[in-house]
Amino acid sequence: MAKLLFFSITALGFFCNITFAFGPIPLQDLCVADPTSSTRLNGLPCKDPATVKAEDFFFSGLHIPGNTKNPYGAALTSMTVAQVPGLNTLGLSLARLDLAPDGFVPPHSHPRATEILTVLEGSLEVGFITSYPDNKHLSKVLNQGDAFVIPVGLVHYQRNVAGKRNTVVLAAVNSQNAGITVVPKGIFGAKPAINSDYLARAFLLNKNIVEQLQARF
């Protein structure tokens, strides 16, 4: 029994260390970002605490619908460290996603964050694909009040399935800067361009189709 308890405590300590390594706890009460500093860090340097004010932690605008008049029928209102300097080092960001009827978000991934989507209005189809070799597609239709978790780094998508109604989603990620890689734009819109012969072979497409896609992005 004593040995079992010892190994249980050891394992718990090990997993706790992994957790803290993945999402370090801040070493001070606050570190409001100073975007004017020339110091380069993994994140942003802190401004003088004496100059910190309540506005550094405030954001207004999540109640305002975004402009969805674009080819995707989608709009994102972000609340990251760029808009709220007080989020610096706290490992959190929010965003409002507006989707017009038939609006969608192309397949993409967030290399530095897990995401939680909560539907405020309408209906949303959301799905992600697990990594190779399974490439399993897990998807769900969410209605008002439903939430869905997208694991860090996995390719995922969203689309409005509410018919003629708009859909509004609140997205939360556990990073002040989750990053985003949009699959179509990243592959066919890379600068400088990826070799079209290679892409044609990789996607089993005609080279002319690849070049047309590259011209679009």
What averages of pLDDT result for each successive group of 10 residues across the chain (217 residues)?
Answer: 45 44 65 85 86 97 97 97 93 96 98 97 98 97 98 98 98 94 97 97 97 96
d(CA 71, CA 113): 26
Q: What's the confidence (pLDDT) of residue 63? A: 96
Q: What's the confidence (pLDDT) of residue 14? A: 43
Q: What's the confidence (pLDDT) of residue 30? A: 85
SS3 annotation, 79-93:
ECCCCCHHHCCCCCE
Binding residues for oxalate: 110, 115
Alpha helix stretches (DSSP H) within the chain: 2-22, 183-188, 196-202, 207-216
Q: What's the confidence (pLDDT) of residue 24? A: 61
The tally of CA atoms less than 13 A away on the side-chain side of residue 46 is: 12
d(CA 142, CA 89): 31
d(CA 17, CA 176): 21
Binding residues: 108, 110, 115, 156
CA of 207: how far to CAs of 193, 199, 202, 204, 214, in Å?
Answer: 14, 8, 11, 9, 10
Q: What's the confidence (pLDDT) of residue 37? A: 85
Question: Among 113, 12, 103, which Cα is nearest to 66's?
Answer: 103
Whether residue 62 contacts residue 136, with contact meaning beta carbons closer than 8 Å, is answered with no
Binding residues for Mn(2+): 108, 110, 115, 156
Which residues fall within 8 angstroms of residue 88, CB to CB, at 6 or more apart? 31, 32, 33, 43, 44, 46, 81, 176
d(CA 89, CA 177): 10
Q: What's the confidence (pLDDT) of residue 42? A: 72
Q: What's the confidence (pLDDT) of residue 48? A: 93
CA of 214: how far to CAs of 80, 95, 201, 207, 217, in Å?
Answer: 31, 29, 15, 10, 5
